[in-house]
């Protein structure tokens, strides 16, 4: 039911959207005046929040190891659970247009929603760079459904007992490295459990258009990732720019081609395509230019993958990851509150470097904590603790522990 309250609308329930909503909820809980005059609404095209850093695991869990609903519940958290007992209202809607003049969102069911403040946190979608055949013949890895389709396809191929099964992962960024490394576990478990004849030779290749994998990462990280992938029998091909994709092969810029059985597309992302309806000039990756307060214009903010923000310390765009989205969400929410109260807004000051943990198959990870580097089992444990910390932020204690344990049990299914 609509009210006369002014609406603070958050578009998207990813890491940034969830963080902004919970930050505002905390402020509203302490301020009766805000509760009387404003309402917080988060709009998402699905009723659950997807923990995207773990999606590569789902693509490598053998069929039947766990019930599909159990697997899904390990990385998707219902918005009803996250916002239960809060002042945040959530709506499952697909946004088709954003009208800056009328200050309203348009949905695919012909409804509209007016807003007083809007935070764009719609995340990213797969980019195929207009490469012919890429979308038609490859398997993306952005949603839970994508992961299940890829898992099923690879298991079917392996069980078909062809002499050679070639899996090519396109894109040598973090996502490509994680999924290529995880396939070794998947293949090994299928052989071990006699789901696939050992006579079937499986080749996994990581293809990167640039001169090196993990572009932008420190040499220490790249060296460890290369060594780890080699130990998992993953072939790395750099300077391998794809110009076209056919049913069973990819065409390369130098005129050569690579045959494949399954093509996994981890080659790039762009901001949500609905941002094109804003009527502002976007970057080549379709993100929206913002000022130091993360504003596109007054009362309209963009964060995470939707914000084109140049780090003044490096003169480079910020990485599109959860830590950046969460830190920007807090600033955007704080600036909405400041604007309501007539106070000075806070500029966003990014870190020169953000810590990260990169999974690399079978209880192994590579962690760069800025001042400390770690690779191996301890880094993998750290990765699990990072997830637990996040779950404790968005869920009650026991619900967070339950979801975390589900994820651990699922992740160990192919170890």
Tell me how far apart the alpha carbons of residues 268 and 176 are, in angstroms, rounded to a whole number: 10
Q: Is the pLDDT at 415 greater than 80, yes or no?
A: no
Tell me the H-state helices in 263-311. Answer: none
Query: How would residue 317 be classed by pLDDT, with cut points 50, 70 and 90?
Result: confident
Tokens in use for 312?
């003044």
Q: What's the chain's average pLDDT?
A: 93
∠ at Cα 108 (300, 12), nearest 5°? 40
HSE, CB side, 13 Å, CA atoms: give it for residue 380.
Answer: 14
Q: Considering the domain delimited by 134-267+356-414, tell me its CATH architecture.
A: 3-Layer(bba) Sandwich (3.50)
* Best CA proximity match to 75, nearest among 408, 362, 415: 408
**In the chain, where are the structural domains located?**
6-45+93-126+270-341, 134-267+356-414
Mean pLDDT value of segment 73-88: 96
**Sheet strands (E) in 355-408:** 356-359, 365-368, 373-376
Is the CB of residue 164 less than 8 Å from the CB of residue 259? no
Query: How would residue 161 be classed by pLDDT, with cut points 50, 70 and 90?
Result: confident
Mean pLDDT value of segment 235-244: 97
Q: What share of the chain has pLDDT > 70, as a percent?
A: 97
- Tokens 């899904």 correspond to 72
Res 339: pLDDT = 98
The alpha carbon dihedral of 300, 301, 305, 309 has a sign of: positive
Query: How would residue 64 be classed by pLDDT, with cut points 50, 70 and 90?
Result: confident
Q: pTM here?
A: 0.93
Return the H-helix or E-strand segment holding 203: strand 201-207
Res 195: pLDDT = 55
Lowest model confidence (mean pLDDT) among 124-133, 168-177, 179-188, 278-287 = 179-188
Helix, strand, or coil (residue 164): strand
**Taking the mean position of all CA atoms in its chain, how far away is CA 37?**
34
Tell me how far apart the alpha carbons of residues 168 and 9 are, in angstroms, rounded to a whole number: 41
pLDDT digits (tens, 9 = 90+) for 92-114: 999 999 999 999 999 999 999 99
Q: Which residues pair with 6 in a beta bridge?
A: 38
Tell me how far apart the alpha carbons of residues 304 and 187 are, in angstroms, rounded to a whole number: 35
Res 159: pLDDT = 82
Is the CB of residue 391 less than 8 Å from the CB of residue 404? yes
Q: Which residues pair with 249 in a beta bridge?
A: 259
Mean pLDDT value of segment 193-204: 70
Tell me how far apart the alpha carbons of residues 143 and 155 are, in angstroms, rounded to a whole number: 19
Q: Is the pLDDT at 23 greater than 70, yes or no?
A: yes
Query: How would residue 293 be classed by pLDDT, with cut points 50, 70 and 90?
Result: very high
Res 194: pLDDT = 61
In the chain, how many H helices and how many E strands?
A: 12, 28
Is the CB of residue 206 less than 8 Å from the CB of residue 242? no
Instruction: Please tell me the chain's helix, strand, coil percentages from 3-state DSSP, rounded to the nearest 5.
Output: 35, 25, 35
134-267+356-414 matches 6-45+93-126+270-341 in CATH topology:
yes
Mean pLDDT value of segment 350-361: 91
Q: With respect to CATH, is domain 6-45+93-126+270-341 assigned 3.50.50.60? A: yes
* Best CA proximity match to 266, nearest among 150, 120, 159, 188: 150
């Amino acid at each position: 039911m609509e009210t006369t309250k002014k609406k603070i609308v958050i578009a998207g329930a990813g890491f940034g959207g969830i963080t902004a909503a919970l930050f505002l909820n905390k402020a509203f809980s302490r301020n009766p005046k805000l509760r009387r005059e404003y309402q917080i609404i988060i709009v998402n095209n699905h009723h659950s929040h997807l923990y995207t850093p773990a999606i590569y695991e789902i693509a490598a869990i053998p069929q039947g190891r766990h019930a599909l609903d159990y697997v899904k519940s390990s990385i998707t958290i219902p918005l009803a659970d996250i916002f239960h007992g809060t002042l945040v209202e959530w709506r499952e809607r697909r946004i088709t247009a954003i009208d800056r003049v009328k200050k309203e969102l348009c949905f695919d069911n012909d409804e509209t929603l007016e807003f007083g403040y809007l935070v764009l946190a719609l995340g990213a979608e797969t980019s195929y760079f207009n490469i012919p055949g890429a979308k038609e013949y490859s398997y993306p890895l952005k949603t839970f459904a994508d992961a299940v389709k890829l898992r099923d396809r690879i298991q079917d191929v392996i069980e078909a007992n062809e002499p050679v099964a070639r899996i090519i992962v396109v894109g040598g960024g973090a996502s490509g490295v994680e999924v290529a490394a995880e396939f070794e576990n998947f293949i090994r478990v299928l052989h071990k459990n006699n789901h696939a004849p050992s006579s079937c030779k499986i080749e996994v290749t990581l293809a990167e258009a640039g001169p090196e994998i993990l572009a932008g990462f420190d040499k220490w990280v790249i060296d460890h990732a290369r060594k780890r992938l080699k130990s998992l029998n993953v072939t790395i091909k750099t300077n391998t720019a794809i110009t076209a994709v056919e049913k069973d092969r990819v065409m390369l810029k130098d005129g050569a081609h690579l045959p494949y059985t399954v093509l996994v597309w981890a080659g790039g992302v762009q901001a949500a395509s609905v941002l094109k309806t804003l009527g502002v000039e976007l970057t080549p990756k379709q993100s929206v230019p913002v000022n130091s307060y993360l504003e596109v214009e007054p009362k309209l903010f963009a964060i995470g993958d939707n914000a084109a923000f140049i780090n003044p310390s490096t003169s480079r765009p910020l990485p599109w990851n959860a830590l950046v989205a969460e830190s920007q969400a807090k600033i955007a929410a704080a600036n909405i509150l400041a604007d309501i109260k007539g106070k000075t807004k806070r500029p966003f000051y990014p870190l020169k470097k953000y810590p990260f943990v990169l999974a690399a198959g079978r209880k192994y990870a590579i962690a760069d904590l800025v001042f400390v580097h770690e690779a191996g089992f301890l880094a993998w444990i750290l990765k699990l603790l990072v997830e637990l910390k996040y779950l404790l932020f968005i869920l009650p204690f026991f619900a967070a522990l339950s979801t975390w344990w589900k994820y651990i049990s699922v992740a160990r299914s192919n170890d």
